[in-house]
Amino acid sequence: MNFKEHVISTIKNKNSAVCVGLDVEPGKIPAVLKNEKNPVLKFNQEIIAATKEYTAAYKPNLAFYEQTGIKGLECFEKTLEFMGGDVIKIADAKRGDIGNTSKKYAHAFFEHFSCDAVTVSPYMGEDSITPFLEKEDKGVFILALTSNKGSFDFQMQKMADGRYLYEFVIEKINSWNAKKNCGLVVGATHPELFEGIRKLAPDLPYLIPGIGAQGGDLENTVKYGFVKNDVLSLVNSSRAIIFASDGPDFAERAGEEARKLRDQINKCLK
Amino acid sequence: MNFKEHVISTIKNKNSAVCVGLDVEPGKIPAVLKNEKNPVLKFNQEIIAATKEYTAAYKPNLAFYEQTGIKGLECFEKTLEFMGGDVIKIADAKRGDIGNTSKKYAHAFFEHFSCDAVTVSPYMGEDSITPFLEKEDKGVFILALTSNKGSFDFQMQKMADGRYLYEFVIEKINSWNAKKNCGLVVGATHPELFEGIRKLAPDLPYLIPGIGAQGGDLENTVKYGFVKNDVLSLVNSSRAIIFASDGPDFAERAGEEARKLRDQINKCLK
């Protein structure tokens, strides 16, 4: 099964296109977990247990783990182990380097940590991406149009042929997709551009951040960002789900928020 | 002392613009170290001890450490500790994310691992970079024109105003340099473009990969990439130095190669 098929079947099986971003601030862990041996790991485990029914994918962002060094990476590893096999495990790492070096990153995330997918940055071009694409069952979400203000600095600048840089990048990505394991990162803060993006890349799964704390527009995202029959997009929410409550009910409330997002997406899809 | 001053004074004190890339393949460790408890760490320590006299900076690339997970990150940490204080410690990480997340990466590399500088990718724009620039003594080498073939895919594409994307990126970087702690990554495989790049960014330190195994042109790199009075560039060599020999003389040979590169650069500077 190639990565695209894996995304489609997981979304169908879970009846959910929700991706939960496990971007855990140690300072925001609920007081009830403060005496745990590893509060961040325990937090992740409780969040995963409470949200898994409503969730197709989890996306821990490496920055939040690297900030505490080895201890954080241990937590990243154990969090991945806890997820089990029926969700898509996405390492949000935004890596990318010369070919020889990207190969090591691909090994790190796909072999060592057993992730299903990784996010990468396109700036260094084809040979920085292809080492991640060697196995059809391992996926790569390439930054195309991100959700932040800085997306205007380069991604939304016009090229000599009149296209935006992000459109130019997307066309290149289409040409790298022989094994059906490329995807795009497209931010929900640009809903007016989704229709055009879906035309450029009708066949790619999208990972869509920017809903929730960043203020993205869910309805237009689903209207234009999804391929309805195949539900070929994952909508990520991080803070709005995992930090829905800082009380003893934090996991329960996270579960409710994940269920709510799943239902909102499914409603928009009808 | 801001980062630019730190680069200049280190190069002057060491009389060297050499950066040694510690991109260590566990499979390439000399047989003589195979029975060490931690062969990669021991290798790095011996390489550092043998090259330090001739070296202004060390640049471990994170991919080579992450590929073995926690064990690799431990080795990265201990390698940094071993370097001591009279060299510039550059984490070659090519990170970059939305502002809130880049802040965590900045903490990871500058606070947790005590690096002096980090490499970052510009694709996500200003708010992905500024969190790395908060402290004037911590530096950021931003990918401008990389040494790999993929640099032609996007970096060397023309924008609507006739400039190449990498030129457009460099102009933006100039505007982020209020604290004199920005630098550029510029590959030695594009020597014909160095003169123009130095005109665009006369005031930035460069980190220059691509010499050695990648075939970059040292003479033109020094001729056009350096600001002669200030020697405002670091020339990186990885494989050609650290894997100069796989015999018991590996460290001695690495020292010779580092010295040779230092002397070649200094000769070109005269």
Q: Residue B76: pLDDT above 90?
A: yes
Please indicate whether, in this complex, the C-beta atoms of B121 and A96 are within 8 angstroms of each other.
yes
Nearest beta carbon to residue B98 from set A113, A124, A148: A148
pLDDT at residue B117 greater than cutoff 80:
yes
Residues of A in contact with B162 (CB under 8 A): 160
Above pLDDT 90, what percent of chain B? 92
Rounded to an integer, what distance in angstroms lies between the CA atom of residue B185 and that of residue B143?
5
CA A182 from centre of chain: 13
DSSP string, B229-241: TTT-EEEEE-HHH
Q: Has residue B190 got a pLDDT over 80?
A: yes
Tell me the shortest Cα–Cα distance from B165 to chain A, in angstroms: 8
pLDDT at residue A212 in the model: 73
Tell me if A101 and B63 make a contact (CB, 8 A cut-off).
yes
**Contacting B residues, span 150-209, partner chain A, CB-CB under 8 Å:** 150-155, 157-160, 162, 165, 168-169, 172
One-character DSSP codes across chain B: --HHHHHHHHHHHHT--EEEE----GGGS-GGGTTSSSHHHHHHHHHHHHHGGG-SEEE-BHHHHHTTHHHHHHHHHHHHHHH-SSSEEEEEEEE---HHHHHHHHIIIIIIS--SEEEE--TT-HHHHGGGGSSTTSEEEEEEE-SSGGGGTTTTSBBTTS-BHHHHHHHHHHHT-TTS-EEEEE-TT-GGGHHHHHHH-TTS-EEE--SGGG---HHHHHHHH--TTTT-EEEEE-HHHHTS-SSTTHHHHHHHHHHHHHHHHHHHH-
| Environment class of A5 (CB within 10 Å of its CB; exposed 0-12, middle 13-18, buried 19+) | middle
Pairing outcome for strands A139-145 and A182-186: parallel
Tokens 């800085």, located at residue: A150
Q: pLDDT of B155-167, one tens digit each?
A: 999 999 999 999 9
Instruction: Report how far apart, in Å, the C-alpha atoms of B84 and of each of A164, B48, B78, B81, B161 are.
Output: 46, 10, 11, 6, 46
Residue-wise pLDDT for A227-259, tens only, equals: 887 889 999 999 999 999 999 999 999 999 999
B22 closest CA partner among B203, B207, B243: B243
**How confident is the model over A45-88, as pLDDT tens digits?**
999 999 999 999 999 999 999 999 999 999 999 999 999 999 99
The per-residue pLDDT for A215 is 72
pLDDT higher than threshold 80 for residue B220:
yes
Do residues B208 and B187 make contact, with C-beta atoms less than 8 angstroms apart?
yes
Mean pLDDT of the A131-160 span = 98
CB-based contact, A27 to chain B, within 8 Å: no
Q: What is the pLDDT of residue B87?
A: 98
User: How much is the pLDDT for A216?
Assistant: 76
Q: What is the ipTM of this complex?
A: 0.97
Any B CB within 8 A of A228 CB? no
Q: Which of A57, A124, A75 is CA-nearest to residue A95?
A: A124
Interchain CB distance below 8 Å, A63 and B147: no
Mean pLDDT (whole number) for B196-203: 94
Q: Cβ of B73 under 8 Å from any chain A Cβ? A: yes
- Restricting to B residues 239-268, those with a Cβ less than 8 Å away from any Cβ of A are none
Could you give the CA distance from residue B93 to residue B104 in angstroms, rounded to a whole number?
13
Question: Does B213 score more than 80 pLDDT?
Answer: no
Give the fold, CATH level 3, of A3-269.
TIM Barrel (3.20.20)
Distance CA B126, CA B130 (A): 6
Q: What's the pLDDT tens digit per position in B53-74?
A: 999 999 999 999 999 999 999 9
Mean pLDDT computed over every residue of chain A = 96
Q: Which of B69, B70, B124 sits opposite A143 (nearest CB)?
A: B124
Strand partners, B58: B20, B89
Domain range annotation of chain B:
3-269
Query: pLDDT at residue A213 above 80?
Result: no
Residue A266 has pLDDT above 80, yes or no: yes
pLDDT the model gives residue A191: 87
B219: CB partners within 8 A, 6+ apart: B268
How far is residue B227 from each of residues A15, A170, B8, measured CA to CA in Å? 60, 38, 10
Instruction: Decide: helix, strand or coil at residue A259.
Output: helix
Q: If you search the block for the tokens 């070296």, which residue do you land on?
A: B55
**For residue A211, what pLDDT is reported?**
87
Partners of residue A159 in chain B, C-beta under 8 Å: 157-160
Q: According to the model, what pLDDT value does residue B236 have?
A: 97
pLDDT digits (tens, 9 = 90+) for A215-226: 778 999 999 999
Is residue B217 very low, low, confident or very high in pLDDT (cuts 50, 70, 90)? confident
Q: Read off the pLDDT of each residue in B122-143 and give the average, rounded to a whole number.
A: 98
Map residue A204 onto helix, strand or coil.
coil
How many inter-chain contacts (A to B, CB under 8 Å) are there? 187
Tens-place pLDDT, residues A95-108: 999 999 999 999 99
B192 CA to centre of own chain? 21
User: Which of B41, B121, B168, B173 to probe by mutation at the A interface, max A CB count within 10 Å?
Assistant: B121
What pLDDT, on a 0 to 100 scale, did the predictor assign at position A265? 95
Tell me what pLDDT residue A102 has.
98
pTM equals 0.97
Predicted confidence band at B212 (pLDDT cuts at 50, 70, 90)? confident
Lowest mean pLDDT among A169-183, B88-102, B128-142, B215-229: B215-229
Q: Which residues of chain A have a CB within 8 Å of the CB of B172?
A: 153-154
Catalytic residues of A: 94
Least confident of A27-41, B18-32, B58-72, B212-226: B212-226
